[in-house]
Structure 1
């Protein structure tokens, strides 16, 4: 009897220790609610989140119930609570806040609650602000807002509290750009950067021209906002904040969608603080033209010992070219297509960010607001929403 009891106690101790070991190796549990379950959630974002062993998708929200039910079924998220209708975003956020209160009351430790805002840009600021008011972490699609003023008002709700705000500029964490960032170290002192992005996207079929990206009140301003934000954030990540920004913008052709206030091309200049050495500011420039007759995607970072060239939106590796004619491909791990779960590595960084003392995520509120400020300056000033005009 004593031997049996002793064996039972040993088994219990072994069970506790084994579970303690498992918990210590993967202690962070992140409960995620997604607002605005649409096309971006099919491959690019949400699968990379729910496949993370530390994450669980507990709520899904979208105005259209049939589409929401279809998504839930296709992605095997049967345990997620569904919210639909005009107030689905606010209802889901308050639901996540209730779950947090229940977890806190039950003494659950190491549990974090994150709302993923994947709606069109016009609703970002209000939903992000509500997360901040309720003390919930928020992961917001890019850009953070239609302009800097909106973004600052939303981010202000997170100041002084424990809740964190991140923005989904996932390119910072893709292996291609990690290799490019390392490759920039080979160019010596950086002396300049030039961005050229030309696409035919504004001359698409009429059906595609009705997309919300081309409704200024909804998106903030066409593809300059949607794709240009990725460009600006990536340059910020690779070379530091863009300072002294000046820009001119235009709707250069009547073929562009979205009405007279949707810009299809931008030319801008700026400077960066010196990355190393005793040189002066590093000058930068960009040409973003979405009504071009050709496709060009090229960034060139010049230095005293060579340059690094790469594309922002293609899936080719960057290349270092030295002043002596040498050439090196900046190899990187191919993830099976640029659209395949590209948010996954960024969300891994967020999970690590939530584990105290692990690793701070690059994509914070400050970097997202810097991006909005640059976009405002490239586009000539803050927009007045609801009116077809620019406000200087």
Structure 2
């Protein structure tokens, strides 16, 4: 028996617990943590946007504010998609996965699911380790120049300049409340970054398990059709059952993916729209710094945002492409077996499988977009096109 929560989702649980999104332990303290974390993200976005009101308006100011504000808006959307649909988005899919794993009796089928889960765990550990190292570096760059003041160490103004590029201009004395502001900025970055990594890894984990279900469906089809040599009545019944079991787990995987994205399609549609606009603005900000000169810390800030958005969009679309490919493997499995040597009524069943397998499984977001590598390329082209339009209008 496979215990999904402890074997495949142990790291996901730690990340979600850190920001109050783990649904299996929903105490009052966890609910308070959820509201507090989401409130910090929203307040950070609002404070960023107040810069346009409190400062003298310029195009450069608007680009800098919106490029950072929209990025944190993306993080808030990710947090909200899980935070207020926690029972539907995390708990119920976990329970369904556990029921599916409990229903596996064949040793090879259990080995297939374990293989996908173990691969997922290794990838999750690698991404989590990379994220932790990145957070330590980012928070150190922001915080250490100010912490060094406690020990009366000498720093120049350029060393502390990076914080003023990523924090809002509060309506309070920044010098007197500097360390509280540093703590607030660091907390916002930690919550937002953890929300992006935790929710993204959770979605990838669900899609990986769905890929495992499709692989089991392919295995069951091959196993059923391979019983056709000297087909006695007993083996013919076993072929029927094998095909029925293959269709059943295929339908289960389809329903699992449809249920998952029924709660995500709207929020992730807005996430993609905001991400494309944010990506274009940051590309424009980078071009302005490169062509007209600017601070290296500001360049690194915008460059880091661009890299993060590209990585997130790529992995999300790659997971969708992988799910589509695994569904297509079922079609190829049906087509490649010796179906022509099976009894006529078995061939009719296989014909229905071939007809169903010719239809691709697509993960729709908002009814207008499909997660795939082609869609990733489309988003990249759209972002570069918008950036080109903005750059050409300013020349």
TM-score in terms of structure 1 length = 0.23
Q: Which has the higher contact order (CA 8 A, sep 6+)?
A: 2
Q: Which has the higher strand share?
A: 1
TM-score in terms of structure 2 length = 0.23
Structure whose alpha-carbon radius of gyration is higher? 2
